[in-house]
Each structure stands twice: as C-alpha cells, then as structure tokens.
C-alpha cells in the first residue's frame, strides 16, 4: 500500500539531518529511494551508495560537520529546507547557509535532493589566495 510522507516521518528526516554522523549515515535508506539523486555545487550523485559516498567524504574531510535546519516547508511531494552547515576545515570554523529542494515518491521517500548555496560567497571567498580574486570578481559583476 502506498503512503505519503507522514508528519512523524518528516520530523524524523529533519532530526536525522541535524544529528547526522558516520554512525547514523546507514539510516539513509529509511529516507531516500535506492535510485535517488543528490546534487550540489560539487556533486551529482545517483543511487543510494553514491549519495552515501558524498556524505562519507564530508565526514572524512571536515571536522565536526553539523546541519541546523532554519526553516522547513512541505507541500505534497515537494519540500524546501533552509539550513546552516557549520564545520571546521584546516583548523578554521566555517559555515555555509543554503537550501535543499526535496522531491518525494508516493511512499514518502526522497527521489531528488538538490542543494542550493553560493559557493563563491560561502566558500571560495574564505579560502586564502582564492578569496581576494573571487571577492574582486563579485564586486565587478555587482549592479551599482
């Protein structure tokens, strides 16, 4: 029998994102279909194993990564979440503000997870040697 995403399952998903660790990553199959797609400015992963690999890479390369959900909106088989992602990289505390568009199948599992965030402002400008040229370019392209 097909079902839609219940309020309890929706809250469980939001809680899972906010408490995600290498130990809870295997629970991803509870929320994503086997053929789900995850896309962000750096990755385009298809299939549960490849999406897990993206998250494993995150845990391998970043210290103390943590998502905090700011707003969560759901309408039928679509949802949008705004979030803050805080982490430590090379001893520096950094953060990214972004959003995720989610699409669900008839069983309430994610078929598409698309992250939107400004890689130039949120990341590249904070990297030594790269930050100044990116900031200069953003200033040049900015409307008066």
Contact 69, 17 (CB under 8 A): yes
Q: What is each CA distance from 79 to 102, 107, 113, in whole angstroms?
A: 5, 15, 10
Tracing tokens 């979440």 back to the chain, one arrives at 81
Domain range summary for the chain, segments of one domain joined by +? 7-118
What's the rounded Cα separation, in Å, for the pair 104 and 55? 20
Helix (H, G, I), strand (E, B) or coil at 1: coil
Provide CATH code, domain 7-118: 3.10.450.50
Tens-level pLDDT at each residue, the chain (144 residues): 455 789 999 999 999 999 999 999 999 999 999 999 999 998 999 999 999 999 999 999 999 999 999 999 999 999 999 999 999 988 989 899 999 999 999 999 999 999 998 766 666 566 666 656 656 666 666 666
DSSP state of 24: T
């Amino acid at each position: 029998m097909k079902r839609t995403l219940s309020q309890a399952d929706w809250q469980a998903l939001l809680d899972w994102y906010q408490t995600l660790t290498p130990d809870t990553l295997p629970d991803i199959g509870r929320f994503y279909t086997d053929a789900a797609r995850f896309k962000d400015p750096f990755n385009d992963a298809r299939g549960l194993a490849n999406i897990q690999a993206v998250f494993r890479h995150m845990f391998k390369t970043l210290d103390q990564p943590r998502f905090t959900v700011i707003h969560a909106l759901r309408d039928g088989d679509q949802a949008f979440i705004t979030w803050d992602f805080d982490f430590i990289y090379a001893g520096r505390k950094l953060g990214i503000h972004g959003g995720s568009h989610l699409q669900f199948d008839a069983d309430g599992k994610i078929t598409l997870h698309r992250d939107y965030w400004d890689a130039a402002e949120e990341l590249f400008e904070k990297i030594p040697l790269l930050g100044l040229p990116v900031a200069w370019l953003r200033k040049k392209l900015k409307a008066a």
